[in-house]
Structure 1
Amino acid sequence: MTATTLSPALVAHLPTGLLVDGHWGPAADRSTFEVADPATGQGIFDVADATPADALRALDAAHAAAPAWRAVPPRERSELLRAVYARLVARADDIGALITAEAGKPLAEARAEVVYGAEFLRWFAEEAVRADGLVRRAPSGGNTQYVSRRPVGPSLLITPWNFPIAMATRKIAPALAAGCTVVVKPSELTPLTTLLVAEIVRSEAEERGLPTGIVNVVPTTHAADVTGPLFEDPRLRKVSFTGSTGVGRTLLAQASANVLRSSMELGGNAPFIVFADADLDAAVEGALIAKLRNSGQSCVAANRFLVHDSVARDFADRFARAVGEQVTAPGTQPGAQVGPLISEAAVEKVTGLVDDAVAQGAQVLTGGSRLDRPGHFFEPTVLTGVSADATIVTEEIFGPVAPVVRFGSDDEAYELANSTPYGLAAYAYTTSLARAQRAMEDIEAGMIGINRGLVSDASAPFGGVKASGLGREGGDVGIDEYQETVYVAL
């Protein structure tokens, strides 16, 4: 099945099979699954549905290619990543259309994701040649200490559906830069973009005479069955996962058997704090970005809007007007600003959270219900009069709904902000330097935006604290997740 909005050239050459050892092919049992367009609910492509045997073949390939890839000079690894970066940027329109087709986000947003995702390749192309070591005389004077880094080994990368290119490149790029080979298990909801990125890596590696088994991809609708045997195989040395905290806990338990290096970017419940002295125009502008990017389907999306009593009504009214003016439409429609949710289940979850909040006394300032059209659309929504213990405040919404909760003092704001097991991202708006400094110190989150509604940057460390995960992706520490530190006493 094909999507008529995609270019004929892309449709003709888009891989939909498994990539194992540099070759595309069907699943072992030749089974497939359908990828649907969330704006219509209609199928667009059929993709190979990997089996456990396919996953083990992919690990075979990653293990076999590991010694040769590890021996490739860092400069050559760097140049490969830089070439893939250039090809992605050159095809931003084409790849953006593919993201819109399978993930639903507006075309402008999808194209921006291509550029953002490509930045991880450029960044780690630069980091590949900067793996620092150490040579120094021991304090005792009796020997020399030599410290180096080496690739951790074959890695399993499990990516989510909401940013299909950025989540793939954020893991593939540092792994390859460090000298690791990988097996990628993309989300069954949005596997197509990952498959295309993998083909670009494969073709560039082949042209350069480099190992083609460095990136292997096994899309599947049976994730636990397919990845389970990999966790049991001692050849696998690393797992990186982005997704829910519940699944992350399960994977960490599995990883413990072989003591796998583990990176976990898990759930969030980001507070967006508007202090009494905030610039409300700037706060509303930032709130639109922090809440509505990808229709709120982001782990760093603002989930709770904590607003000081003195400005709560004014902020809520301004924010509701701005939200109500957003154009909610299929991503391919000119002027679309908010696209569909990923699935019917996502719409049902958001609907339930809003209905529950209203039943507990919340007022709907704008939106509040699903849209009566094909696809999985929910109106961008602002709720006020929401209690701090409402389910819509304590759970991750993952949709275009903004509950506004009032606070009376700065101490109460921090208490509310930190009253969650999660700590991925947070946002705070204030014109006071003292308040900004306290926010940086007292908010329990791995990433904090001060007077900014967007924190993601390939050159900065991405990750959370508490139940939001382990490790960091991006920045100068991102490559560390794929390296072992070795000390030799000379």
Structure 2
Amino acid sequence: MTPTGCFIGGEWRDTDRRFPVTDPATGQTLAEVADAGPADALAALDAAVAAQDAWAATPPRERAAVLRRAHDGLVSRGEEFALLITREMGKPLAESRAEVGYAADFLQWFAEESVRISGEYRVSPGGDFRIVTARQPVGPCLLVSPWNFPLAMITRKVGPALAAGCTALLKPAEDTPLSCLLLVQVLADAGVPAGVVNALPTSRPAPLVERLLADPRLRKLSFTGSTEVGRLLLAQASGNVLRTSMELGGNAPFLVFADADLNAAVDGAVLAKLRNGGQSCVAANRFLVEEPVAEEFAGRLAERMKRVRLGPGTDPASELGPLINARQRRRVAGLVDDAVAHGARVLAGGHAEGPFYPATVLTGVPAEARIHQEEIFGPVAPVTPFAGEDAALALANATPYGLVVYLYTGSLARALRVSERLEAGMVGVNRGLVSNAAAPFGGIKQSGLGREGGFEGIGEYVSTKYLALDTAP
């Protein structure tokens, strides 16, 4: 029942070409999906432009009602979405169910926020006129989402876009377009008018996106993906000075101080490392542990990781599904092999098993190993000791990325002191999960621009207009 076409101007359309979507656990083809090209993209942009003024003029309460109905529709089909996510992305069903709930939260949150887009009225410093500001939708938006959270990363973008009064073109990842296409059907069923939401699955994203970014009618780009691709898109978006939101790569440190509750730290480490099989921009990448407890922490973590059950996501006993594709498996294996070649010891895992890579713990990883510098995007935990706060901060901040840091300590003063000096957009204090629809998600440095979620999220889709009103007699 999942749609497999392009959705343009309120209609499902086929294309001359199609491409396969496969189950990463079995290699089985799940569906053949329409392969949109630049001409389809321009047709979708035509539809979005035609619908923009009417949607922007729709009362906020009505936009909120549409999003709330979409939320309810998504929740009512939650098990269908969860199975679809597992089949096309590979994560265990329990995690897919959690993603459905997380995705639905964004629709509910921004339904509530749509009626709270406010402006200001104030007296000028000289008292001779009034300063009035209004926040208006930026216009048609291109929303480019990744494969690792194929549903939630769409709702995190389309929720605020629709709430703000913007029309949208959705470009899902080639590996996982089906969740996006089913969501589009739910949005249409909820009453989103024709042309307000359009979907463009494609196996040829570069020419399609480049053509859209060159069109002056497009006014906004939101992208979640690698920093490398983000840089290219920023360059292309500069031609028309597009509003951009970039949620890019990470190299998250997981700091454990000697005064931390080690049981809680290990629990948090497993969550922060293995959620989504480690295939997440907020996955813990470098485990930095104070010297007095480093060996004990590594041993406890290794014992936990050894017990993690591999298997297809559809198996209820599975705790760790396959990596998304063979390319990613080779990349993770290469990082581990490089670390071992530099002298690292493997305490758990360390070798691919068919389409799966087991939960892995490394110690004794030297600073020059690639695994310290690159985003792993897999279930591998390198543990490195440090001596004191200054050393911990130097190691944590020694990266061009700045998305999230996890920090475990028994001292509130240390938590505040260290958090203020960490170069990151988010800090998880004594918890291994930071993502929430009500919180601003995003990073600094080469981890991105802008914020998604929270009160701040809708601000990415509105522009401020200032009116100077003369009040002189």
**Same-fold call, TM > 0.5?**
yes
Which residue does 1:121 correspond to in 2?
A: 107
Residue-by-residue CA offset, 1:434-472 (whole Å, 9 max, x unaligned): 210112201111010000000000000000000000000
Alignment of 1:49-448 (within 5 A): 49-205=35-191, 211-371=193-353, 373=354, 376-448=355-427
Letter in 2 for 1:14: T
Letter in 1 for 2:272: A
1:273–1:306 Cα contact (<8 Å) kept:
yes
Task: State the distance in 2 between where 1:255 and 1:57 align.
Answer: 20
Runs of 4+ in 1 over 6 A off after TM superposition: none
Please identify, of 155-164 and 82-91, the stretch whose mean Cα deviation from structure 2 is larger: 82-91
Aligned residues: 469
Task: State the distance in 2 between where 1:211 and 1:106 align.
Answer: 35
Letter in 1 for 2:395: L
1:141, CA displacement in angstroms?
Answer: 0.8
Which residue does 1:8 correspond to in 2?
A: none
Picking from 22, 36, 41, the partner of 1:36 is 22
Letter in 2 for 1:165: L
1:274, CA displacement in angstroms?
Answer: 0.6
Letter in 1 for 2:214: E
- Where 1:257 maps in the other structure, the secondary structure is helix
Aligned Cα root-mean-square deviation (Å): 0.7
2:425–2:443 Cα contact (<8 Å) kept:
yes
1:408, CA displacement in angstroms?
Answer: 1.1
1:279–1:431 Cα contact (<8 Å) kept:
yes
Which residue does 1:7 correspond to in 2?
A: none
1:211, CA displacement in angstroms?
Answer: 2.1
So what's the TM-score if we normalise by structure 1? 0.95
Task: State the distance in 2 between where 1:165 and 1:260 align.
Answer: 25
Task: State the distance in 2 between where 1:197 and 1:334 align.
Answer: 25
Task: State the distance in 2 between where 1:150 and 1:300 align.
Answer: 32
Identify unmatched segments of 5+ residues in structure 1: 1-12
Residue-by-residue CA offset, 1:399-431 (whole Å, 9 max, x unaligned): 000000111111000000000000001101000
Letter in 2 for 1:55: A
1:387, CA displacement in angstroms?
Answer: 1.6
1:334, CA displacement in angstroms?
Answer: 1.5
Residue-by-residue CA offset, 1:29-72 (whole Å, 9 max, x unaligned): x1000000011122111100001000000000000000110111
1:388–1:405 Cα contact (<8 Å) kept:
no
1:38–1:343 Cα contact (<8 Å) kept:
yes
Which residue does 1:489 correspond to in 2?
A: 468
Task: State the distance in 1 between where 2:252 and 2:124 align.
Answer: 45
Task: State the distance in 2 between where 1:120 and 1:388 align.
Answer: 39
Task: State the distance in 2 between where 1:413 and 1:45 align.
Answer: 48
Identify unmatched segments of 5+ residues in structure 2: none
1:388, CA displacement in angstroms?
Answer: 2.6
2:73–2:190 Cα contact (<8 Å) kept:
no
Task: State the distance in 2 between where 1:110 and 1:479 align.
Answer: 26
Task: State the distance in 2 between where 1:93 and 1:80 align.
Answer: 22
Residue-by-residue CA offset, 1:280-333 (whole Å, 9 max, x unaligned): 000000000000001000000000000111101100000000111111110011
Give the % identical residues: 60
Task: State the distance in 2 between where 1:302 and 1:93 align.
Answer: 29
